[in-house]
Amino acid sequence: KAGVTQTPRYLIKTRGQQVTLSCSPISGHRSVSWYQQTPGQGLQFLFEYFSETQRNKGNFPGRFSGRQFSNSRSEMNVSTLELGDSALYLCASSLFVAGGIDGYTFGSGTRLTVV
């Protein structure tokens, strides 16, 4: 079956602009999480959505926002881009099972460069 699909793969934006990234989860997965990955900083948690509701949120400024649609596809938006927002943005989708989650799978990511 199809994996987690992120679009676009690469993006170049100018400081001050805004950007929207998209993530389509594996069919049947209703939980979608977003991470920012920069060299030496690991996987920084942004937020997680389930059934169109944000359930968990990391420590990022309000310029970072997201949403989830009824078909479980998710988007994240970054407004007023800064040079430091340049990173690989990864999303992951998963199933809910008794007591937790299963099948936590990452997409290939969107490489955002802010110039």
Binding residues for other proteins (CB under 8 A) = 31, 33, 35, 41-43, 45, 48, 50, 55-56, 58, 90, 92, 94, 96, 99-101, 104-109
- Taking the C-alpha atoms of residue 25 and residue 102, their distance in angstroms, rounded to an integer, is 13
Bridge partner residues of 72 (DSSP): none
Provide the minimum distance between the beta carbon of 109 and other proteins in the complex, in angstroms, as a whole number: 6
Instruction: Return the structure tokens found at 51.
Output: 């059934």
Give min distance, CB of 39 to other proteins, in A.
10
CB of 18 to other proteins, least distance (A): 25
Q: CB–CB of 18/80 below 8 Å?
A: yes
CB nearer to other proteins: pick between 81 and 90: 90
Residue found by looking up tokens 């959505």 in the block: 49
